[in-house]
Chain A
Amino acid sequence: MTRLAGCGLVDRAQPLSFRFDGNAYTGLAGDTLASALLANGVRLAGRSFKYHRPRGILSAGPEEPNALVELRRGARREPNIPATTVELFSGLEADSQNRWPSLRFDVMAVTGLLGPLFPAGFYYKTFMWPARFWERLYEPAIRRAAGLGRAAEAEDPDRYDRAHLYCDVLVIGSGAAGLAAALAAGRRGARVVLCESDWRLGGRLLADGGEIDGLPAADWAVAAEAELRAMPEVRMMPRTTVFGVYDHGTYGAVQRVSDHEPEPDANEPRQRYWRITAERGVLAAGAIERLVAFSGNDRPGVMLSGAVRQYLNRYAVTPGRRAIVVTAGDDGWRTVTALASHGIEVAAVVDRRAEMPERHAAAAASAGARVFAGGRIGGTLGGSSLFAADIVEASGERTRVAADLLAVAGGWNPTVQLTCHLGGKPVWSAAAEAFVPGALPPGMAVVGAARGSFGLGSALAEGARAGAEAAEATGFSGSAPAIPFALDAEGAPAPIWIDSGARKAFVDLQHDVTLEDIAIAHREGFRAVELLKRYTTHGMATDQGKTGGVLGMAAMAALTGMDMAETGTTVFRPPYTPVAIGALAGPNRGKDYRPRRRTPAQGWAEEQGAVMTEVGLWHRALWFPRPGEADWQATITREIGAIRTGAGVAEVSTLGKIELVGPDAGALLDFLYINTFSTLPVGRTRFGIMLREDGFAMDDGTTARLEQDRWILTTSTGHAGAVMEHMEYVHQMLRPELKVAFTSVSDRWAQFSVAGPNSRQVIAGVLDPGADLADAAFPHMACGVFTALGGVPARVFRISFSGERAYEIAVPAGFGEELVRRMMQTGAAFGLVPYGLESLGTMRVEKGHLGGGEINGQTTARDLGFARLMSSRKDYIGRALAQRPALIDPRRPALVGLRPVDRMATLRGGAHLLPEDAPVRIEHDQGHVTSVAYSPTLGHWIGLGLLEGGPSRHGEVVRAANPLEGFDDLVEIVPPCFLDPQGARLRG
């Protein structure tokens, strides 16, 4: 065990047992998986992506490139989770990745074959030819060799949630700057949300010690948290990562509600995706330490210097027993002091600088460390764990120093990512030796290390001022904020350090990109950072180059001779850290993927054993099978037979229903439809087609005039929303002077189609006495308002889709189920059967009525056979462009009926229509089949299609071919209406 006594923020009274690669270990409450592994002396955490090199734990946070694990087992297994971010819980199981057969002995690495296979640009040059080898050979081989962890193979058993949050001030990060900002804004009464990725607030205060207002920094953080929690308008959100910044103060965040437990509580989601809308944002996301590029900088035992301090001070774990500290500036010396104060031997300090502040000599002396001023690391030794490093002195002399820990202080990169999501570009700061935020998203302030102010005192002051300013801007004024007092650490920020002569010096540990790869990219001309990134995959791994990205840029800058400002960074896009797709999907999965709309009588249909289908958001009955029916065709044949000889009832409540009221309703309808409505008498219904302004058909349907100034318009189910929106556009934008109001009443009315020779008796059976449905009083296309079921308003329309005498009856939605039950009772004597969409669709093809296949956005009213409806006496939407020469060309594909020459043949939708003797090639294409059905009435298949010059070709025979599905039939062109073209049946 390497647990230190008498320090840390772990609970020694709460041991937690866990497994890594099947071995049992014990950690403490307050550990991460990484700190618990280190406490158990586990240093080898995984193998790298391309070369399968052994890798240890580099960092102590979400920037971790190496120690990625598969967390949990079975359906909850999740790959590529940084062990440094996993809050330890009892029973945790994790496995290392990219190793076979075991982490310690990996065949891929031992054979050493992979190195030459994967130089920079290997995707582009190694596997280019022949193309078919890619699928068969290269891709499977690469996927086996490389790749990260394995996703679970079973469905995710957990639930995810989505929620919205509104606040005045969003503070991102709870280090010194973030806490100071939240306190300043909260004390003024602003609604503050404080998001922190970690479960514990404090950020670097938990790792670096120091004093704030005379308190130890970690204690100050506890006091600040307590004060914030007591404020009613402040919401604390630990375990919550703000991963994206969007327009107008919108932020995306993911809260890990239950990831610190073995599995979520029955009433809790695993994660919750928050959309936070904040008037002001304060980004206090701190900084991430960067690596130094030297030979062998990926050896397990190499660790970021700031992470070493975090393991020592926060987790009471020592990552090694004998350390070398490599530092590009003063910050590494804090690690020297920290190691020494915990009694860890510091064998050597390698400082990039030949001259350094004198105070470091004293620190080295008290730690007993030998100082190599102006030195560098020439290489590291060790297999699965570091045991020594070669130090090259300024003179060139090499000294081998035994050590199991190499603490690397390569300077700090401000966490600028969230400032870039709206297009801001980081700018190079010579003072900070790093890229700092450039143009900020509107309403965002950046404070502390995130803007390159690395000192503790500066962070507190900037945070407090920004918090107060944000509160002020949202209407909460007050006196100047109290600024917590602390000293800035001495020293200047460290520069980027690249040992240009190094071999196997990694700049991207997760994707195994080395300085050599950067040099190849340079040599081959991929020099701009965005090209460099894509050619080498530098910075494209799950860690997005958080520790090494800027090293690659600096290496390229050194090769091109440009400075860092000119070289720039690649674009940072959301998410800041990976977000589970499940969290983004939230509850919208499986049957809850979309909302479901239930029709008023759906319960009745289900009770009748209807087979249901999804139509948009609706679930509608397809058909109503009866025992003994062999298949759906038998059911349809029975249903249609019953309708054509007796009566059938189908629910059509899903049709769009728009009620218009006002003296100008008719004028609006005249403008919307190609035909005229204002002349329609009260008590009558008319069919209409509306166009888009470009002259193509938009929708068809019937409109009834119930009263002088009250109309009800119906749309097809699929176009209900679009037609309503279109009508609002036309009224508000084009004809605002019309005195008309309209609203969607689709959900207000349950509507049923009752068709068949006996339909009148069925309708009469549910209407209250006194309704006169005699043909003289209520002919085809009549409409009327009656009462049914003893006083319930009932609108009756005598319209027919089936070609039979038919009525539609609408009652308020709540009475729909009662109405259909009553109809089934009283209609039994008249042979009434329920029917569904399939029979409805078959009968409409028999009659040649239009459906979605015909009104497909590419057809005109003329194409569909309605040229005669197009009024020449008024203006209407689409009129002008419908007259374009190309749209009135008689050779355009137009609606025809189709029947197979061989009456036994099956017609299939989607087939292309070609001249009988033409080869099946696209240049002979003359149209396609839009709808097909087996007509039980006619005893063979029938279809509708769009055929060039179709209406003049009745009687001709053409090919209906689909080479993709391998069928090719001869069909005869006929008029689109197959049944009773004179309409004798529907008039009764």
Chain B
Amino acid sequence: MRIACPHCGERGSEEFSFLGAAGLARPAPDAPADAWHEYVYQRDNPAGSYSELWHHLSGCRRWLVVTRDTRTHAIASVVDA
């Protein structure tokens, strides 16, 4: 895979590490247990567009949101997280 880092340009995916779903909001410290469970463990697994976190480990070390189609790996956008 090739990922177009907004800071470094297009790079091979071996320069990046992958974390998982982007766009999760960390609950307040006193939020109910369900909210924390949801935040830490529950993830969608869509066949299609998916926004996920990649870290440009061997580059600028920015965390990025990569929007990728899980069926084709086509990347729609890469922006700073």
Select A732's contact among B26, B27, B62, beta carbons within 8 Å.
Answer: B62
Interface residue? B29 (CB, 8 A) = yes
Given contact pairs A725-B55, A732-B63, A247 touches B2 in the complex (Cβ within 8 A): yes
Contact A247 B1 (CB under 8 A): yes
B31 proximity list for chain A (CB < 8 A): 880
Q: Evaluate whether A728 and B55 lie within 8 angstroms (CB atoms) in the complex, with A693-B40, A880-B27, A880-B29 already known.
A: yes
A725 to B61, CA, bound (A): 8
Q: Are B40 and A733 in contact (CB under 8 A)?
A: no
In the complex, the answer to whether A880 meets B36 with C-beta atoms within 8 Å is yes
A875 to B36, CA, bound (A): 13
Whether A725 contacts B2 by the Cβ 8 Å rule is: no
B6 vs chain A, min Cβ distance (A): 13
Contacts of A246 in B (CB 8 A): 1
Contact yes or no, B26 A442, CB < 8 A: no
* In the complex, chain B residues 38-81 whose Cβ is within 8 Å of any chain A Cβ: 39-41, 53, 55, 57, 61-63, 72-75, 81
- Bitwise, B12-37 to A at CB < 8 A (1) or not (0) is 11000101000000110101010011
Collect the chain B residues with CB atoms within 8 Å of residue A879's CB.
29
- How many angstroms between the C-alpha atoms of A816 and B75 in the bound complex? 46
A249 to B12 CA separation, bound complex (whole angstroms): 11
Rounded to whole Å, the gap between the CB of A781 and the closest CB of chain B is 29
Query: B75: nearest residue on chain A (CB-CB)?
Result: A248
Residue from B29, B36, B53, B74 with most neighbouring chain A CB atoms (10 Å): B36
- Contact in complex: A729, B19 (CB < 8 Å): yes
Asked if A881 is an interface residue, CB under 8 A from chain B, the answer is yes
Q: Is the CB of B29 within 8 A of A733?
A: no
Q: What B residues does A926 contact at CB under 8 A? A: none
The answer to whether B81 touches A732 (Cβ under 8 A) is yes
Bound-state Cα–Cα, A277 to B13, Å? 12
Tell me the bound Cα distance from A729 to B24 in angstroms.
13
Given contacts A732-B63, A880-B31, contact A250 B36 (CB under 8 A): no
Determine which of A277, A694, A728, A875 lies in contact with B63 in the assembled complex, contact meaning CB atoms within 8 Å: A728
Q: How many residues of B contact A (CB 8 A)?
A: 27
Q: Which residues of B contact A880 (CB under 8 A)?
A: 27, 29, 31, 33, 36
CB distance from B32 to the nearest CB of A (A): 10
Name the distance in Å between B48's Cβ and chain A's nearest Cβ.
15
> A247 to B55, Cβ gap below 8 A?
no
Contact of B26 among A247, A275, A734 (CB under 8 A): A734
**B interface footprint on A234-261 (CB within 8 Å = 1, 0 otherwise):** 0000000000001111100000000000
Interface pair A250/B17, CB less than 8 Å apart: no
Q: Which residue of B lies closest to A736 (CB)?
A: B81
Residues of A within 8 A of B39 (CB): 693
- Quick one: closest B residue to A250, CB to CB? B2
Q: How far is the CA of A36 from the CA of B40 in the complex (A)?
A: 66
**Distance to closest chain B CB from A878 (angstroms):** 9
A903 located at the interface, meaning its Cβ lies under 8 Å from any Cβ of chain B in the complex: no
CA distance A694 to B75 in the complex (A): 30
Chain B residues within 8 Å of A249, by CB = 2
Docked pose: A452 CA to B37 CA in angstroms: 55
Kindly provide the distance from the CB of A789 to the nearest chain B CB, expressed in whole angstroms. Answer: 33
Hey, which chain B residues are within 8 Å of A734, CB to CB?
Answer: 26
Is A884's CB within 8 Å of the partner chain B? yes
| Structural contact, B81 and A248, CB atoms closer than 8 A | no
Q: Mark A67-82, 1 if CB is under 8 A from B, else 0.
A: 0000000000000000
Chain B's closest residue to A879 (CB) is B29
| Closest A residue by C-beta to B19 | A729
* Chain A residue with Cβ nearest B32: A880
Q: Mark A245-283, 1 if CB is under 8 A from B, else 0.
A: 011111000000000000000000000000101000000
A248 adjacent to B29 (CB under 8 Å)? no
Report whether A277 and B40 are in contact in the complex, using a CB–CB cutoff of 8 Å: no
User: Inside 8 A of B41's CB, which chain A residues have their CB?
Assistant: 694
> C-beta contact mask, A717-738 vs B, less than 8 Å → 1, else 0?
0000000010011001110000
What residues on A are CB-neighbors of B2 within 8 Å?
A: 247-250, 277
In this complex, the member of A275, A875, A880, A884 whose beta carbon has the largest number of chain B beta carbons within 10 angstroms is A880
A821 to chain B, nearest CB (A): 35
Cα distance A250–B27 in the bound complex, in angstroms: 40
Question: Do residues A733 and B63 form an inter-chain contact, with CB atoms below 8 A?
Answer: yes
Contact A725-B81, Cβ < 8 Å, known A693-B40, A879-B29, A881-B36: no
Taking the nearest CB of chain B, how far is it from the CB of A108, in angstroms?
A: 47
CB neighbours of B61 from chain A (8 A): 728
CB–CB A875/B1 < 8 A: no
User: Given A249-B2, A732-B62, A734-B26, does the pair A881, B81 have CB atoms closer than 8 Å?
Assistant: no
B2 to chain A, nearest CB (A): 4
**CB atoms of A247 and B73 under 8 A apart:** yes
Chain A contacts for B40, CB-based, 8 A: 693-694, 881
A59-91 interface bits toward B, Cβ cutoff 8 Å, 1 = contact, 0 = none:
000000000000000000000000000000000
B-facing residues in A890-918 (Cβ within 8 Å): none
Which among B12, B37, B63 is the interface contact of A729 at CB below 8 angstroms?
A: B63
CB distance from A276 to the nearest CB of B (A): 12
Residues 862-903 of chain A, each 1 if its beta carbon lies under 8 Å from chain B, else 0: 000000000000010001110010000000000000000000
Shortest B21–chain A CB gap in Å is: 12
A299 vs B39: C-alpha distance when bound (angstroms): 66
Residue of A at shortest CB range from B41?
Answer: A694
A-chain residues with CB within 8 Å of residue B27 when the two chains form the complex = 880
The CA of A728 and the CA of B59, in the complex, are separated in Å by: 13
In the complex, per-residue mask of A408-424: 1 if CB is within 8 Å of any chain B CB, else 0: 00000000000000110
| Cβ contacts under 8 Å, B53 to chain A | 729, 733
B33 neighbours in A (Cβ, 8 Å): 880, 884
CB distance from B5 to the nearest CB of A (A): 13
Chain B residue nearest to A721 (CB atoms) is B57
Closest to B2 in A: A248
- Report Cα–Cα, A247/B19, bound state, in Å: 19
Report chain A residues within 8 Å CB of B73: 247-248, 422
- Do A729 and B29 have beta carbons less than 8 Å apart? no
Look across to chain A and name the residue whose beta carbon is closest to the beta carbon of B55: A725
Residues of chain A within 8 A of B72, CB atoms compared? 422-423, 442
| B81 CB → nearest A CB, Å | 6
CA distance A880 to B40 in the complex (A): 11
The interface residues of chain A lying within 8 Å CB-to-CB of B62 are: 732
Nearest Cβ in chain A — how far from B78, in angstroms? 12
Interface residues of A in 422-455 (CB under 8 A from B): 422-423, 442
With a 10 A CB-CB cut-off, give which of B13, B26, B33 has the most chain A CB atoms: B26
- Chain B, residue nearest A724 (CB): B61
Complex alpha-carbon distance, A881 and B19, angstroms: 19
Decide yes or no: A442 and B57 within 8 Å by CB, A250-B2, A733-B63, A734-B26 being known contacts.
no
Contact B57 A725 (CB under 8 A): yes
The residues of B that contact A732 with a CB separation of less than 8 Å are 62-63, 81
How far apart are A740's CB and chain B's nearest CB, in angstroms?
15
Q: Given A725-B55, A732-B62, A250–B26 Cβ distance below 8 Å?
A: no
A249–B31 CA distance with the chains assembled, in angstroms: 45
Q: Within A333-366, which residues are at the interface with B (CB < 8 Å)?
A: none
Chain A proximity of B20: nearest CB distance (Å)? 11
A277 to B73, CA, bound (A): 16
Q: How far is the CA of A728 from the CA of B17 in the complex (A)?
A: 12
B81 touches A733 (CB 8 A): yes
Inter-chain CA distance A884–B40, complex, in Å, is 13
Closest to B4 in A: A248
Q: Which residue in chain B gives the minimum CB-CB distance to A735?
A: B26
Complex-state Cα separation, A545 to B74, whole angstroms: 31
- Chain B residue contacts of A250, Cβ below 8 A: 1-2, 12
A56 CB, nearest partner CB in chain B, Å = 44
10 intermolecular pairs with C-beta atoms under 8 Å apart: A246-B1, A248-B73, A250-B2, A725-B17, A725-B55, A728-B63, A729-B19, A732-B62, A732-B63, A880-B33
Beyond the given A693-B39, A734-B26, please list 7 additional residue pairs across the A-B interface where CB-CB is below 8 A: A247-B1, A247-B73, A248-B1, A248-B2, A277-B12, A442-B74, A725-B55
Binding site for B on A (CB under 8 A): 246-250, 275, 277, 422-423, 442, 693-694, 725, 728-729, 732-734, 875, 879-881, 884
Q: Which 3 A-B pairs have the closest CB atoms?
A: A248-B2, A875-B29, A247-B1
